[in-house]
Structure 1
Amino acid sequence: MLIDTHLHVIDKSVLNYPWLADVEALDRDFSYESYEREARQGGIEATLHMEVDVEPSQIERETENVARLAARDNSLIVGAISSARPEEDGFAAFLERQIDNPLVKGFRRVLHVVPDEVSQKPLFRENLKRLSDTRFTFDLCVLPHQIPLAIELVDLAPDVRFVLDHCGVPDIRNDAFTPWKDHVDELARRDNVTAKISGVVAYAEPGSWTVDTLRPYVDHTVEKFGFDRLVWGSDWPVCTLGGGLHAWLAATQALFSGCTAQERAKLFRENAKRLWKLRSASDAA
């Protein structure tokens, strides 16, 4: 059984997603119900909802919508990673409100959709330090050439627990192993960073990738971070760009088939439980 640390629900009747206009294949509703059906078939027992870069004024409304889904009987959703704007003056007050919401486990600011200068602003960096000694993690969603900027953030806030999304978004389609490899090597030296093995099928050539296409990138991430600092995620529905949830689940099982039961348990469940203090259906059984 797996804990999925990276689910996106898209509900255009409730929220606005400005970026979807540029991604035609994702510019529609992707409901929790559709995900749940596939997830249960594939052995997923719990999930964290990952923010979907909604219109900034709707960030807390998105969390409220996730809370309604999490409150359903036997819901798979056990927590949420909220969107955040550390570059804005209102972040401190926003953070105080989230402290009182046990559903929120961490935050993300997608950095590859904004100028690099955003994460270099003093206010952004000071606000990021506010996460020190809290329960909150911070997801790093960057392109390979931006990983050095992520390293700067990690070094400025050594008491914050960071999560690198999607193995650092390698350009698998163009076989661009470097400079991604070198940057991942350097980031992995920071022991307050966990890597997320999530949805890399979206970065391979649609319809033609194989497990061996993905293996160099996944194996290198595993080698550098080690099984104590890895979590797994689907990145649904973005993974549908590379074949879908079942294809990614099958590839995952193949990629880690040679690992020990303990290693697989850490990646698939135990590290996520520890990092975010999660409970899943198997814990209650």
Structure 2
Amino acid sequence: MVKSKKKIANDGHYEAKDLPIPLCDPHFHMWDCIAHPNPNLGEAAQTLPIYSAQNYHTDMKQLPFPLYWVSGIHVETIVGESKESEIPDIIEETRWVCSQLNSTAPQHPFAVVAFLNLTQETPLSDYLLERHINASGNRLCGVRMILNHHPHNRELTWPNVDSNILKNPNFRRNIALLENRNLSFDLSCNPHQIPDAEKVLRDFPDLHVIINHLGFLHDGEDETHLRLWREGMESLAALPNTFVKLSMPWFARNGFHWNRIIGGEVGQIIRDLIALFGCNRCMFASNYPVDKMQGITITALYRKFLEWSSDLPEKDRANLFHDTAIRAYGPIQ
């Protein structure tokens, strides 16, 4: 008989008798800005110049019970979003990440989401994908190119994203290439860009699309931003091949980890997205070490994840913490 999870004070803490929950972390980053400079990391390169596999493993040991870390997906660290004279070697990032994680792969299998410039011609993209596959030892499962651009708000424009890439004709061609290669696409764009994204992605039903970071709802924006986010997430949820990462909650409501009122607001956002997509298409993710630099510990972050999912059945929580990630990205070796 499955033991029930009795909450203590409704705060994400559990009794020792409860069953452990396996965790796949589908969104974390690593870098070494000393050996491999990355101008796009900005202040992060000074604040945390190195975040290695050892650093990540140490942080993941702080997971609160009943979670235990099983596997993960490394997501590219905006390596390609640079002017040509400064662009880091995108293949080298894949190679370096895998060299970091290979030693613990038997205990903690991993896969890689690499950078690909979705505005370039598809023959070059195909060539670079092949190089990513070789560099990763066949651990490549998908691609991300950050698309966040806003014509007026610099806070909503990522480094060197100087236009709405979703309108570039090569974007559609490269998305088709990903679908043909059975690779996933991590979607990172602002709410006002979602209609352009949906217009392209609806034509590729066999492509797994993983929406990053709650769909980039941003704290402090006006009602128009909130409306565009709600409408956009509804339209993306209508596509059966989409998934959403319940991650980077501080971007949506800063202070969630220490202010119970703000934490409650984020909890409602999480529940709204679960209602839209279903637990079988939602996944919690750490976004480490980005969230770490916001002063959010792994313990605090995952206690909130546990709290926000505390009223859900075992199967739903298994999806949120592990199974959806595997469903979205495929088996992790």
TM-score, normalised relative to structure 2: 0.77
Shift in alpha-carbon separation, 1:171–1:8, aligned structure 2, 3 A: same
Is 1:29 the equivalent of 2:61?
Answer: no
Deviation for aligned residue 1:166: 0.8
Is 1:273 the equivalent of 2:326?
Answer: yes
Q: Which of 241-250 and 106-115 deviates more? A: 241-250
**Within-5 A mapping of 1:253-264:** 253-264=306-317
Q: Secondary structure at the match of 1:187?
A: helix
Q: Work out the CA distance in 2 between the residues paired with 1:54 and 1:227.
A: 31
From 20, 35, 38, the equivalent of 1:17 is 38
Instruction: Give me the identity figure in percent.
Output: 23
Q: Work out the CA distance in 1 between the residues paired with 2:49 and 2:131.
A: 31
Code of the residue aligned with 2:97 in structure 1: it is V
Deviation for aligned residue 1:26: 5.0
Q: Work out the CA distance in 1 between the residues paired with 2:244 and 2:278.
A: 9
Q: Work out the CA distance in 2 between the residues paired with 1:62 and 1:278.
A: 22
Shift in alpha-carbon separation, 1:31–1:209, aligned structure 2, 3 A: farther
Is 1:52 the equivalent of 2:77?
Answer: yes
Code of the residue aligned with 1:154 in structure 2: it is L
Q: Structure 1 regions of 5+ residues with no counterpart?
A: 281-285
Q: Secondary structure at the match of 2:299?
A: helix
- The answer for the alignment partner of 1:204 in structure 2 is 253
Please tell me whether the aligned partners of residues 194 and 232 of structure 2 are also in contact (alpha carbons under 8 angstroms): yes
Q: Which of 164-173 and 152-161 deviates more? A: 152-161
Deviation for aligned residue 1:50: 0.7
TM-score, normalised relative to structure 1: 0.89
Please tell me whether the aligned partners of residues 20 and 27 of structure 1 are also in contact (alpha carbons under 8 angstroms): no
Q: Work out the CA distance in 2 between the residues paired with 1:51 and 1:93.
A: 18
Is 1:8 the equivalent of 2:18?
Answer: no
From 218, 222, 225, the equivalent of 1:171 is 218
The root-mean-square deviation of aligned C-alpha atoms, in Å, is: 2.3
Deviation for aligned residue 1:118: 2.1
Please tell me whether the aligned partners of residues 87 and 118 of structure 1 are also in contact (alpha carbons under 8 angstroms): yes
Deviation for aligned residue 1:279: 4.2
- The answer for the alignment partner of 2:93 in structure 1 is 62
Please tell me whether the aligned partners of residues 210 and 245 of structure 2 are also in contact (alpha carbons under 8 angstroms): yes
Shift in alpha-carbon separation, 1:171–1:26, aligned structure 2, 3 A: farther
Please tell me whether the aligned partners of residues 49 and 77 of structure 1 are also in contact (alpha carbons under 8 angstroms): no
Shift in alpha-carbon separation, 1:16–1:65, aligned structure 2, 3 A: same
Shift in alpha-carbon separation, 1:185–1:82, aligned structure 2, 3 A: same
Q: Work out the CA distance in 2 between the residues paired with 1:75 and 1:30.
A: 20
Q: Secondary structure at the match of 2:202?
A: helix
- The answer for the alignment partner of 2:167 in structure 1 is 120
- String of CA shifts for 1:61-95, please: whole Å, max 9, x gaps: 00001110221135635111001102113212112
Code of the residue aligned with 1:108 in structure 2: it is R
Q: Work out the CA distance in 2 between the residues paired with 1:46 and 1:175.
A: 38
Shift in alpha-carbon separation, 1:57–1:38, aligned structure 2, 3 A: closer
- The answer for the alignment partner of 1:283 in structure 2 is none
Q: Work out the CA distance in 1 between the residues paired with 2:191 and 2:314.
A: 31
Q: Secondary structure at the match of 1:196?
A: strand
Rg: which structure is higher? 2
Stretches of 4+ moved more than 6 A in 1?
none
Deviation for aligned residue 1:6: 0.3
Q: Work out the CA distance in 1 between the residues paired with 2:69 and 2:222.
A: 30
Q: Structure 2 regions of 5+ residues with no counterpart?
A: 1-21, 81-86, 149-157
Shift in alpha-carbon separation, 1:269–1:119, aligned structure 2, 3 A: same
Code of the residue aligned with 1:167 in structure 2: it is L
Q: Work out the CA distance in 2 between the residues paired with 1:59 and 1:150.
A: 24
Q: Which of 101-110 and 40-49 deviates more? A: 40-49
